[in-house]
Amino acid sequence: MGAVLLDTVEAVRAFIARERRSGSVGFVPTMGALHAGHARLIEHARRECALVVVSIFVNPLQFDRADDLREYPRTLDADRAFCDELRVDCVFAPDVTEVYPVPPQCTVEVARLADHLCGRTRKDHFRAVATIVLKLLQIIQPQRAYFGEKDAQQLAIVRRLVSDFSVPVTVVEVPTAREADGLALSSRNRLLSADDRRLATALYSALREADRQIRIGVTDTDRIKQAALARVSIHPALRLEYLEIVDPDEMQPVATVAGPVRVAAALWVGRVRLIDNLLSIPGQAESE
């Protein structure tokens, strides 16, 4: 039997109450257009939980551009088949009016964690992300929720959200899934042209160079960033939005590397914005 597809809060709550086994519910929140990165999240949940729920909801509040929201891939039939293959128990795919029957007046403010990286140029993005994550956690009430390391700033905010609001859920971090050439898997990758797809590898190349500098003992972040930026070719289709070295917990920029840091970047490739990051530990040999 395939995954049950439900589109109302009442229905998904009733399903979970009826099917919950051993009190173990794993939840994977997504915006659809599922790929191998999502598969890794789901597989983790399937190994650890008796009941696995995947949500598919393109949250309009977290888009700062109307064209980005309009063009975001929506592939519900393929996503449901994808979930069937991975033995998901339930796909929760509500309409916008089900999630927001009226425009929300109560939202989750995110302070310091959202000051830099993506939060610098996407002013209300993380408020919207935190709001929908809290709402979905309230609806599903899982014991474990799975998030990808690729969205490191989001992950840090979700962890703080769960702590600040005493949400009874364990947040599970899953390593980034990558293509053979290193490009992080993303639903937006399918929007890249063939030429832009080749250019997109510059993002991972820059992060790898920053990581290499840190591992060999370079501590000055300006020097590290200069070396990394040299890996991004001057090309009309490429525009680097940021490349920063931050504390991995608070997401604050550091001037000197004195311990583990996260190197994070956002790169525009044509009209597509891609993000990626690496956790870098001084003196640690690079993993194979």
**CA R_g for the chain:** 19
Q: Return d(Cα 233, Cα 199) in angstroms, integer.
A: 9
pLDDT of residue 122: 87
CATH: 3.40.50.980, 3.40.50.300, 3.40.50.620, 3.10.580.10. Which one for 4-174? 3.40.50.620
| CB contact at 8 A, 278 and 263 | yes
What pLDDT is attached to residue 288?
41
Q: Are 169 and 23 in contact (CB under 8 A)?
A: no
In DSSP terms, 246 is beta-bridged to 253, 262
116 is catalytic: no
- Any idea which residue has 């891609």 for tokens? 274
Question: What's the token pair of residue 92?
Answer: 């929760």
Instruction: Give the relative orientation of helices 36-48 and 76-85 as an angle to the nearest 10 degrees.
Output: 40
**Best CATH choice for the domain 187-280 from the list 3.30.1300.10, 3.40.630.30, 3.90.1200.10, 3.30.450.70:** 3.30.1300.10
Give residue 66's identity as a one-letter amino acid code.
Answer: A
Tens of pLDDT, residues 147-160: 999 999 999 999 99
Please give the structure tokens belonging to residue 76: 């519900």
The active-site residue out of 35, 38, 125, 235 is 38
Give 10-residue mean pLDDT values along the chain (288 residues): 94 94 89 96 97 97 91 95 98 98 95 95 93 98 97 98 98 97 95 96 98 97 98 95 97 97 98 97 75
Q: Check residue 246 and give its pLDDT.
A: 98
What's the CA gap between 194 and 187, in Å, rounded?
Answer: 15
